[in-house]
Amino acid sequence: MERRNFLKQSAFSAAALAMPGGVVFGGGQEEIANLSKVPRYRFADTLAEQEKQLEDNPLLERFRRSREKLHKDPHVPLYHFVSPENRLNDPNGLCFWQGLWHMFYQGYPPEDPRQHWGHVVSKDLIHWRDLPYAIYPGPERACFSGSALVDGDRVIAMYHGTTVGSMVAVSSDPLLLNWEKVTGKAVIPHSKPGEPKLPYNIFDPCIWKKDGMYYALTAGTLPNGPGGMPVRAEFLHRSKDLAKWEYMHPFLENDRFGIIGDDGACPYFWPIGDRHIMLHYSHTSGGKYLLGDYDKSRDKFVVTYGSDFNFGPSGPGGVHAPSACPDGKGGVIVIFNMNPAKPTEGWNQIMSLPRRLTLINKDELGIEPAGDIESLRKDHQHVGAMTLPANEEVVLEKVRGSAMELIAEIEPKGASMVEINVLRSPGAEELTKIRFLPERGYRPRGRNMPVPGVISLDNTRSSILTDVRSRAPETAEVALAKGEPLKLRVFLDKTIVEVFANGKQCVALRVYPGRADSVGVSLRAQSREVRLRSLDAWQMKSIYD
């Protein structure tokens, strides 16, 4: 019987190889040994039938019960995505398919805590709906990171299958519930014992299409840094049919923006404006990006600029790996996982809010929150124009909360520092500091540019709990034109603070207030008075209700 005729969902696992409806790709001994213990289901090919099958899917019922338990923890966020069970790691394969955003992620099912690709969908990039696990181990030991490409009437996922190499799986059903692995084995395999060493690494691939050919990067390093130390490299392959891949060469050219040890993991290579961007993760220095030009005649990425998404190590509590895709309007949507900074039971990492990246000029990104965040707002509070006196903390008595959005517009007026304190206890025993320091960035010598300001996010006083690990403040440049006010959009959600500045920068950290009354907001101007033009605050609704 053909697979498409299995309209009733059927679970299968290592104990169900002979069950009607059970599908095992490949069938080799390595695959059988690595077969997941997690129940797996085959779904119909029409949306109506899929929705009917999902109504009583046992995995989704298990997720629902798990979420009920998780959200009793006061530190679980309300509107940032948390996996429905157990911990999570990198987001993967973000894509837009048949009217829905799909996000996959490294999930760790409790009965078999190897990486499977978890799966959620959203109409607006904010409200995420759990779906069953999408891609299961076998023949690979675990399903690590990768990307997705919408290719006509199907979606292609390419990812790192540990112990075997790069894997490719395809899906074409309405909710991307059914996946089949091309060839049933690694399409870019690791070398076998006794074979020559490969001239490239196999790790965290991404995929795109050009002129009828598929192209893929595999992450890794080359030992050509100072003293033979490893430096970032991305290795290019191409294929006509997804099954057979030809190695070409290292992809990056003129990349002088990494540090020794950057390994270019989780690459996502997409057009942005009239240029290209490569987002990636460094196990040394966290989330990063490169801007440049794609020389399609030589298949080289000529790098002209590079910078960071976190400004220190990615742990504890920092920005980790990206998953990204084009937004269809010249920009790129990216979501990151955020590392923990406290032991938690049954969960740990969370996803950042989606960010929309655009090209402001040749080597400058615009960074703004994406998705229908406004749909979460309730209980609006407005603070009108006022003067903030120098060297005095002003507590906003009516603006309080641990899951809020704040929008503030401030004229620094020559003050040495402007500060917003959030998640503040009444006696300031706990607080998270957001600071702006005008003209404190790197001075651009030889270029007719003003000295940029600095935005800083400091969690060193965010928690009195003994098992919380703070870190040095996240500190990033943000360039303001002469007379341009500081415009901050701040998102608080239990254990995360994200700060967007003037549509040009974002800093984010995990925080874990230990006091129930750490919900206050205050302002401070240092050395000189400043003008608060306005501040608006909203409580935020849960995306899980």
Q: How far is CA 166 from CA 139, 145, 159, 436, in A?
A: 11, 10, 6, 44
pLDDT tens-digit readout, 113-124 = 999 999 999 999
Residue 14: pLDDT above 50? Answer: no
Domain enclosing residue 181, as ranges: 3-369
385 lies in the same domain as 352: no
- The pTM is what? 0.94
Rounded CA gap, 77 and 354, in Å? Answer: 15
Does residue 545 sit within a domain? no
Confidence of residue 32 (pLDDT cuts 50, 70, 90): low
Last residue of a domain, one of 333, 351, 369: 369
Q: Are residues 282 and 203 in the same domain?
A: yes
Tell me, yes or no, whether 465 lies in a domain.
Answer: yes
Residues whose CB is less than 8 angstroms from the CB of residue 400 and which lie 6 or more positions away in sequence, other chains included? 519, 520, 521
pLDDT tens digits, 496-533: 999 999 999 999 999 999 999 999 999 999 999 999 99
pLDDT in tens, 261-293: 899 999 999 999 999 999 999 998 899 999 999
Query: 227 or 166, which is more confident?
Result: 166
Residue 92 lies in a domain: yes
Based on the fold, state whether residues 207 and 160 are members of the same structural domain.
yes
Residue 450 and residue 438 in contact, taking contact as beta carbons nearer than 8 Å:
no
The number of domains in the chain is 2
Q: Are residues 487 and 403 in the same domain?
A: yes
User: Does residue 382 share a domain with residue 364?
Assistant: no
CATH of the domain at 428: 2.60.120.560
Least confidently predicted of 139-153, 198-212, 220-234, 410-424: 220-234
Verify that 156 and 89 share a domain, yes or no.
yes
**9 and 137, same domain (yes or no):** yes
Measured CA to CA, the distance from residue 358 to residue 488 in angstroms comes to 18
Q: Is residue 221 part of a domain?
A: yes
The pLDDT value given to residue 228: 86
CATH code, domain with 181: 2.115.10.20
Residue from 62, 61, 64, 58 nearest 10 by CA: 58
Provide φ and ψ at 201, rounded to 5°.
-90, 155
Q: H or E stretch including 186?
A: none
